[in-house]
Each structure stands twice: as C-alpha cells, then as structure tokens.
C-alpha cells in the first residue's frame, strides 16, 4: 500500500520498533505477531500501524491516541480485578486480526489518521490517570500488542505512580514479545473468539493455537490476572459442542479460577446479516462453563443480574452483585474471602469495593499533553 499521505505519515511518526529482522532480499520481517509481515521500505504491515522505514520496523502511532475515557473496570470486562474502580482507558488505531464481526471497527480498521487526534506522552497518561483517581490504565479499543513500545512505556510510567496496567487483547502475539509485553501488565482480558481453527481462519485470518499459547503463557508464566471473553455469534461459535470443548480446555489448561465472559454480538462491520445473540444463548454458555468446572462464568452486554454477579464456589452465596456496571452487593471480607464460608474468591481485591459505578467520562488530554 503506497500513497503520498501514508508515506508522509510514516516518515513523520516513526518510533523505533522492536522485534524484527532484516531479510536477505532487502525486506524486513516484523516478528511481533504470528503474521510475520515481510515488508519493503515504505510498506505497512497488516495491522497498518507498523511499517518498514529506513531498513527498520517502526511504530507509527507512538504517543497518538484515538481517545481517552474513564470507564468502570467491569466494562473491560474484568470482574475480579479491583471491582468498582475507575480505569483510565485509551487506544490507538489498527489491529492485527481482521475479524469480520469487529465491534470496534471505527478504530481498529481506521485508515485515516483523524482518529489519532489526541497526543499524549506516557508520563502525561500516568499523571492524568493518577490525578483523576484511577487505579489502573487500560490499553483497549484496539489491540495493544501492535503498539507494544508505547504501551510498555505507558505501563512503566504508571508503575512509578502505583497505577496498574490492564491489557484488553486478542492475544495474537509471538512468544518473545509476549514476555516483554505481559511483564508490564497487571491484568488482561484476552479474547478467546471461538474454539475452532476454522473460525479463526475464516472470520479473523488468524490461528487458534497462537491464542491458546498466549493464554497458557499468561496463566503459567506470569503474575498477570487473567480473564477471557468470547463474543458469541449466532451459528458461528455458539454450538454446545464448541462451548463444551472450549470450557473443558480452559479448566484443564488454565484452571477453574480464570473467569470467562460470554458476551452478546450485535450486527456490525462485515457481518450485518446475523441477528443479535439471544440472552438464552448466553445463559446456556454460562451453564456449560459452570457444569465443566469454571468457577466464575458471566454473561455480558445484556441485562442479566444472575449472569453478571459473582458467586462463591464454596457455599453458593452471592459475593459481588452487579447491575450493569454498578456493584449492588459485596460479601467479601478484607482478604477477598467469602464472609459466610471463608472460601477465597480468586482475583485482586482491595478491602472494600470501589464506588465509581457505571459512569463513562471522556477525558480531554490537552492539559496533560506536555506533562
């Protein structure tokens, strides 16, 4: 892909990228994700934001964002990581998967740079998050693995201020960069988009095995708090057999304490001929997960008090009640244990719930941009 506007953008916004090597034929190969794009100078990778420039791979979105917003942490979704607290959220542009059902395509498929209107240094983001009382910063809206260098620098700046980092990602990243990326994250919600390679190949042009490798890596080799999300698309990834296989795999390979979210699809992007997911389908997925031993399974994007709330897997009492993103009940003691039977609830908890509620507050970064 070559045109003057794009060439200018690359030249003006080239931050040195990591994870690449030169090929004998003069091209450079990006080694950040399993796509391994091989690029001539001036060419962009499939993710659009990494490009070959001056014999190297560069990141073209360092310090450029598609917007900043304070959200409830439950919206990421993370139900077992500092519940009730506000999370400072931002993303850039581009994506390294091509999901036909993308629910965020205005950002992930952005080919115009107007979406990158907000400029912010890592220090500015950390300061803004801190000043606004956020416990964490989320790399979200588009997949942060493709802007690894920016995300890692933001995470470092946040750590210095005691602010945690949360990755919302499809987990489509190669093993070496995954080590660096997740070493700076405190929590992650990883999409497990389906449980067949056909699904990943046909609808996302990716491979299931790479995502499973990332999930196992996070769970077994890091201290990152992990939850998964599956967007259930009618007729595509919602059969009882597929969900049975998926949830059994999760329990066997990640353990019973990784919360699973099953969320509702709405017709979007290139899949407008498929209906919304029914609440019955979401409840069925949650039931299958629980039957197979998942301790914490949730329905998402729908109003369903039972499916949104957290239950003690020891005694069954409700531990955290949720009404959309509003917490209604809190039955954890100061150690994150059930106050009735003493069973530990898996997760990262403070001794009291946050009080942010369901608010979504856009943030104008201009006053922090030069921090």
Which residues of this chain interact with ligand SF4, rule CB under 6 A? 30, 32-33, 35-37, 45-47, 50, 96, 146
Minimum CB–partner distance for residue 95 and ligand SF4 (Å): 9
For Zn ion, the binding residues in 307-366 under the rule CB under 5 A are 312, 314-315, 338, 340-341, 343
Judged by CB, which is closer to Zn ion: 207, or 340? 340
Residue 315 near which of ligand SF4, Zn ion, none (CB within 5-8 Å, type-dependent)? Zn ion
Minimum CB–partner distance for residue 370 and ligand SF4 (Å): 29
Collapsed DSSP state (helix, strand, coil) of residue 279: helix
Judged by CB, which is closer to Zn ion: 26, or 342? 342
Query: Cα separations (Å) of 269 from 99, 102, 355?
Result: 9, 6, 35
Judged by CB, which is closer to ligand SF4: 33, or 120? 33
Residue 244 near which of ligand SF4, Zn ion, none (CB within 5-8 Å, type-dependent)? none
The radius of gyration computed from the CA coordinates of the chain, to the nearest angstrom, equals 20
Minimum CB–partner distance for residue 135 and ligand SF4 (Å): 29
Write down the residue that tokens 């209107």 correspond to.
Answer: 117
- The helix or strand, by DSSP H or E, that contains position 283, with its residue range, turns out to be helix 279-291
Residue 96 near which of ligand SF4, Zn ion, none (CB within 5-8 Å, type-dependent)? ligand SF4
Collapsed DSSP state (helix, strand, coil) of residue 205: coil
Convert 324-362 to b/e letters by CB count within 10 Å (16 or more is b). Answer: ebbbeebbbeeebbbeeeeebbbbbbeeebbebeeeeee
Contacts of 325 (CB under 8 A, 6+ apart): 72, 74, 75, 357, 358
- The helix or strand, by DSSP H or E, that contains position 139, with its residue range, turns out to be strand 136-139
Judged by CB, which is closer to ligand SF4: 39, or 318? 39
Judged by CB, which is closer to ligand SF4: 49, or 82? 49
Residue 209 near which of Zn ion, ligand SF4, none (CB within 5-8 Å, type-dependent)? none
Q: Number of helices and strands (H, E) in the chain?
A: 10, 20
Judged by CB, which is closer to Zn ion: 256, or 267? 256
* Cα–chain center distance at 193: 12
Per-residue tokens: 101 = 């059902």
256 touching Zn ion, by CB under 5 A: no
Judged by CB, which is closer to ligand SF4: 46, or 279? 46
Minimum CB–partner distance for residue 32 and ligand SF4 (Å): 4
Minimum CB–partner distance for residue 167 and ligand SF4 (Å): 15
Minimum CB–partner distance for residue 342 and Zn ion (Å): 7
Query: Cα separations (Å) of 90 from 137, 165, 315, 318, 327?
Result: 8, 11, 38, 32, 23
Write down the residue that tokens 């500015």 correspond to.
Answer: 124
State the pairing for strand pair 67-72/86-91: antiparallel
Minimum CB–partner distance for residue 38 and ligand SF4 (Å): 9
Residue 124 near which of ligand SF4, Zn ion, none (CB within 5-8 Å, type-dependent)? none
Residue 211 near which of ligand SF4, Zn ion, none (CB within 5-8 Å, type-dependent)? none
Minimum CB–partner distance for residue 144 and ligand SF4 (Å): 11
Residue 50 near which of Zn ion, ligand SF4, none (CB within 5-8 Å, type-dependent)? ligand SF4
DSSP lists the bridge partners of residue 20 as: 30
Judged by CB, which is closer to ligand SF4: 57, or 224? 57
**Interatomic CA distance for residues 104 and 97, integer angstroms:** 12
Task: By CB under 5 A, name the binding residues for Zn ion.
Answer: 312, 314-315, 338, 340-341, 343
């Amino acid at each position: 892909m070559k045109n003057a506007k794009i060439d200018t953008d690359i030249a003006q916004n080239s931050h040195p990228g990591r994870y690449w090597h030169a090929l004998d034929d003069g091209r450079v190969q990006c080694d950040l994700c399993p796509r391994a794009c091989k690029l001539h100078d001036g060419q962009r990778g499939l993710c659009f934001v990494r490009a070959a420039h001056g014999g190297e791979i560069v990141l073209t979105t360092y310090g450029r964002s598609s917007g900043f917003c304070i959200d409830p942490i439950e919206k990421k979704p993370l139900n077992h990581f500092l519940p009730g607290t506000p999370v400072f959220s931002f993303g850039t542009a581009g994506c390294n998967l091509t999901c036909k059902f993308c629910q965020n395509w205005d950002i992930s498929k952005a080919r115009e740079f107007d979406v990158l209107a907000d400029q912010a240094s890592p220090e500015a983001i950390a300061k803004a998050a801190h000043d606004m009382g956020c416990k964490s910063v989320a790399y979200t809206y588009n997949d942060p693995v493709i802007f690894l260098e920016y995300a890692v620098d933001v995470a470092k700046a946040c750590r210095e201020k005691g602010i945690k980092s949360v990755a919302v990602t499809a987990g489509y990243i190669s093993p070496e960069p995954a080590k660096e990326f997740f070493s700076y994250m405190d929590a992650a919600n990883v999409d497990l988009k389906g449980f067949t390679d056909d699904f990943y190949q046909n609808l996302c042009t990716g491979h299931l095995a790479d995502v499973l490798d990332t999930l196992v890596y996070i769970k077994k080799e890091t201290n990152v708090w992990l939850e998964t999300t599956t967007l259930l698309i009618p007729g595509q990834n919602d059969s009882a057999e597929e969900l049975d296989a998926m949830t059994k795999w999760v329990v066997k390979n990640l353990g019973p304490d990784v919360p699973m979210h099953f969320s509702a699809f709405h017709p979007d992007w290139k899949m407008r001929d498929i209906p919304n997911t029914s609440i019955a389908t979401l409840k069925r997925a949650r039931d299958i997960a629980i039957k197979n031993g998942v301790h914490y399974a949730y329905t998402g994007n729908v109003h369903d008090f039972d499916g949104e709330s957290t239950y003690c897997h020891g005694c069954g009492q409700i531990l955290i009640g949720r009404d959309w993103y509003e917490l209604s009940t809190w039955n954890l003691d100061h150690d994150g244990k059930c106050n009735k039977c003493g069973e530990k609830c898996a997760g990262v908890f403070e001794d009291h719930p946050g009080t942010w509620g369901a608010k979504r507050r856009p943030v104008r970064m201009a006053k922090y941009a030069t921090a």
